[in-house]
Amino acid sequence: MLPFNINQTLVTGAFEGEVGLLRASGKFPHLQVMGIGNLEAAVNLSDYLFRNKEIRHIVFFGSCGAYEWSGIPTKSFVSPNIIYTKELGHVLKLSKQIPESPEFYQLVPDKTFRTVQGNAPTTITLKELNSPPEPSWKDLEVENLELFGISKIVSRFSITATAYLAVTNQVGPEGSKDWAENWKELSHSLQNQFLEKMRSI
């Protein structure tokens, strides 16, 4: 776990289940859920940071699906260092993606976990993807729904962020079902790992 000043750190997740054990510990003066999806997370995080100007670091707890070509197994844990927002509909020529500038944001990974490159589109990918749909996707390893929005706000406020993600499923047609079956057990495991590391500091 990265060293951080707990009084200047916001601990967050998309919904209460992803941070409930951390909240129950009473160890975090700044702990707030930000909502599901890039837009919801960005709006709520921006509001929180405007009201709590002492915050210098974000620690995000969440879940993700792994793209099949990444080789990352379900029920593992990762920490992204780069996050994009690439839409599959654009690749399939079903829609046109609005360009983002910059195209990606950097996070501060916890290197005791596997470091990955993430994708945070606006929708959940349900199509079977055995290989990257185009060359620009080949380095993408996991898919999460909030981290691009969070990273954009973090950049605007000139602070830093670290994300811890439980790999609940493989991206594809069964992804949502597998997420529903796995998120609680894996989220509790992830939160407990974090609390255990805090006890050793």
pLDDT value of residue 154: 97
Q: Write the CA distances from 112 to 12, 51, 197, integer angstroms.
A: 20, 32, 11
Tokens of 188: 């509790």
pLDDT value of residue 3: 67
3-class state of residue 65 by DSSP = strand
Per DSSP, what are the bridge partners of residue 59?
11, 162
CB-based contacts of 51-54 (< 8 A; 24+ apart in sequence): 52/10, 54/7, 54/8
Whole-angstrom Cα distance, residue 63 to residue 164?
8
Q: Burial, 73: exposed, middle or buried (Cβ in 10 Å; 0-12, 13-18, 19+)?
A: exposed
pLDDT value of residue 199: 78
Instruction: Please compute, for residue 160, the number of CA atoms within 13 A of its CA located in the half-sphere on the CB side.
Output: 12
pLDDT string in tens for the chain (201-residue length):
566 899 999 999 999 999 999 999 999 999 999 999 999 999 999 999 999 999 999 999 999 999 999 999 999 999 999 999 999 877 766 777 777 888 999 999 999 999 999 999 999 999 999 999 999 999 999 999 999 999 999 999 999 999 999 999 999 999 999 999 999 999 999 999 999 887 765
Instruction: Enumerate residues 6+ apart whose C-beta is below 8 A from 58.
Output: 9, 10, 12, 45, 150, 154, 159, 160, 161, 162
Cis amide leading into 102 (omega within 30) = yes
Q: Where on the phi/psi map is residue 93: left (φ > 0), alpha (ψ -120 to 50), or beta?
A: left
